[in-house]
Amino acid sequence: MIQDTRFPAEPRTTLTIKTPRPIGFELRVRVPAWTARGGSARLNGKPLESFAAPGGYLVLDRTWRDGDRLDIALPMELSASPTPDDPSIQAMLYGPLVLAARMGTAGLRPDILRAEPTRPRTIPEYKAEGLPMLALTGRAPWLVPDGGKPLTFRTAAGEHRELVPLYQILDERYGVYVKVPT
């Protein structure tokens, strides 16, 4: 079996069967819990009538032939993950991706190349008030897609920042947690 994907840039994947002769087996494809409703699958170009719920498995029990192709769409959506002790402090997610606010390069030495989390100004017993985090205002949605830039969002109100998947940030400060109105 060959998997072809550009995930996470594109929320889909293709599985192509490679076999010298037809073979019967049950193919179980995990549909991650973060998958938004509306996931779908196509077998050899034809839509399947059903799809698994997020957190479940798409199960196909059949005789597979060389070149059979399963195309799977796993849509992503924005969500928030609050900290256990303060629901107003949240990490923003897009599907399984943790988003981080770009916080600039001020104060970083140009000869040292690295991503660096935004440092707390003060941490009195690790109270949230001491963290320099992005503060969002108004009502949800707080983030909107930044048109034309894949996997890029911007704040809809409050301090205007760009948020991207954490793995994309290099050579600048970033903030993962945001303060949202409750």
Residue where one domain finishes, among candidates 53, 73, 93: 73
Assess whether 170 and 107 both reside in one domain: yes
Assess whether 17 and 48 both reside in one domain: yes
125 in helix, strand or coil?
A: helix
Residue where one domain finishes, among candidates 14, 40, 73: 73
Assess whether 58 and 114 both reside in one domain: no
Assess whether 95 and 46 both reside in one domain: no
pTM of structure? 0.79
Task: Tally the domains of the chain.
Answer: 2
Assess whether 60 and 131 both reside in one domain: no
63 in helix, strand or coil?
A: strand
Assess whether 67 and 82 both reside in one domain: no
> Tokens at residue 167, please?
């793995």
Assess whether 132 and 58 both reside in one domain: no
Q: Which domain holds residue 154?
A: 78-179
Assess whether 49 and 88 both reside in one domain: no
Is the bond leading into 8 cis (omega within 30 degrees of zero)? yes
Assess whether 68 and 82 both reside in one domain: no
Strand 86-94 versus strand 177-179 pairing type: antiparallel
> Tokens at residue 81, please?
């993950």
Give, for all 182 residues of the chain, the pLDDT tens digit. 999 999 999 999 999 999 999 999 999 999 999 998 889 999 999 999 999 999 999 999 999 999 999 999 999 998 888 888 888 888 889 999 999 988 777 766 666 655 555 554 433 333 444 444 666 665 557 788 888 888 999 887 666 788 999 999 887 878 888 877 76
Residue where one domain finishes, among candidates 51, 73, 95: 73
Assess whether 117 and 172 both reside in one domain: yes
Closest C-alpha among 104, 118, 114 to residue 171: 114
Q: How many CB atoms lie within 10 A of CB 96?
A: 14
Assess whether 127 and 47 both reside in one domain: no
Assess whether 82 and 60 both reside in one domain: no
